[in-house]
Amino acid sequence: QQHDNILCQEILVLEPFKEKKGSIAQGQIWDKIANNLNSFQHPQFRVTKRSVRERYTLLSDKFRAKMRDEEKESGIDTDLSDIEKTLEEIVEKEAVVEETAQNNKKKVNCAKAADMRYRTLENLGRSQKRQRKDEVENETAARGKHRRSGSDMVAYLQGKKDLVQKWKMEEMQLQKQRLEAESKKEEQSKKQHQDLMQVTLTKTKLG
């Protein structure tokens, strides 16, 4: 039990769960925990980063199971041992880190979607401009092949006016969509910053 208590204290201080699971950075922290434990004279340890990681997993799984059982039993609280109190702190910090990671992932996905929509609108705008240019060139070429009568000229001018009006409406709609996309990106960026500050404050309080 003394060994487990010291192990949990090391984990609480070095917080390997702050790094991505299975990453090199997390492995280095587990390595440091093992080295710190092996430097103890009383009690003595002979551990590796794998053995301390597996031992912690076993302890935390048992603790989580105990907490779930307590909740099922009408929420009756039981006294926690020193090891369990330390495990409770570790589990709470782990939960904060996991929640932050999930929220950040959602925000990144939303930002990517907004950026993709904005790029699509830009491409659509360029495509529409090319189409308008082609329409004007085709209309001019067709009109130039024969002499225009007075009525032809009136119809041509009216058609051109209608076409220009249509373009202006499309351009206004496209500009509105662009502004909405930019506004959404700014709101997401601002919210991400606020959430990050809130998580930092929460972690500071927990610490």
Answer whether 0.85 is exceeded by the pTM.
Answer: no
The pLDDT tens digits for 38-76 are: 999 989 999 999 999 999 999 999 999 988 888 777 666
List pLDDT tens digits, range 7-24. 999 999 999 999 988 899
Evaluated on CA atoms 167, 172, 175, 176, the torsion sign reads negative
37, 10 Cβ separation under 8 angstroms: yes
Q: 143 CB contacts (<8 Å, ≥6 apart)?
A: 152, 156
